[in-house]
Amino acid sequence: MTHATNNSKLFQPYNLGSITLSNRLVMNPMTRCRADATGTPQDPMAEYYGQRATAGLIVSEGIAPSANGKGYARIPGLWSDAQVQAWKPVVAAVHAQGGKVFAQLMHTGRVSHAANMAADAKILAPSAVALAGQMYTDAQGMQDYPVPQEMTESDILQAKAEFVQAAKNAIAAGFDGVELHGANGYLLEQFLSPTTNQRSDAWGGSVEKRIRFVAEVARETAAAIGGDKVGIRLSPYGTNSGMSAYPEVEETYFKLLPLLADAGLAYVHVADHAAMGAPAVPATFKQALRKAWPRTFFIGGSFDQASGQQAVSDGLVDLIGLGRAFLANPDLVQRLQKGLALAAPDMNTLFTPGAKGYTDYALATA
């Protein structure tokens, strides 16, 4: 990364809703699989997040809002009192360093396997369309994705309520807010896409009906904890977990954004995985989304310091999201300010239990 001057906008405070961030650098949400089998956070997680608390904002790893939403091995949850209590020292570690942290609420929907879930949990999706390929389980290794159950009206209402309760639980645990994970092929995006939402009722069949679930989750979550404490992550043109572009993709997001704005959401966070080989989100579309959104707008992924500074200067984004750079460099903000070299992440330990590749990355010596 190139060295920017210390008076760079990246390092200046920024007001996000009712909270003040110490800088415009966001630590992207990154699944790390360090919770226990029940989805309860474990001790190293407080150290991990505390080490990275000089980010202006940390968006946590994806946190399941319910047992039905916990599709991956060892991802954390926010539906039980034990989980809420276990998150408190994690959040406190961030706040002790002056940081801010939002809990990313991630219901995996069809991206799941029973071996990663509680015995009474259900794999649910808008339609009974299986994801091609396999996912890892601790108990059985790689397994084919199962065909999910098509959600009933009751299932849909329950899932909405689970997001709302998880948001309340996040606030009870001390989080500064929540990010609804509407990206990367998980449940919220499964409703948006005609590939995964093949319903013909009030929740699918047209753009307006496909966006309804996301809009209502956003509105009800904002009503519960305050819109200034709610953001959303979106990934138009994304290809994660079986997603692909479709003819109405831009129409979908242009119709969704006003509903999210009316709900009072604090920010829109667009995922851009082009640096990892995914199709680029068209630049003109990103600019149009920026213009369509009245409050904080940022893009996570595919930035370095120079391009991030340029995007802020150009008005494309208010904040920039960085992922793997924060993973391998706990003191990333200071390294960027001083123009120091960055460490590379160990890709073999992204999702493995324990401290290796998690809390053992060194601080810069300069």
Residue listed under structure tokens 């954004």: 257
What CA–CA distance (Å, rounded) separates 264 from 99? Answer: 23
Contact 103, 170 (CB under 8 A): yes
- In the set 49, 72, 145, 186, the catalytic residue is 186
Q: Classify residue 184 as left (phi > 0), alpha (psi -120 to 50) or beta.
A: left
Active site residue 186: yes
* CB burial of residue 362 (10 Å; 0-12, 13-18, 19+): exposed
Give catalytic residue positions.
186
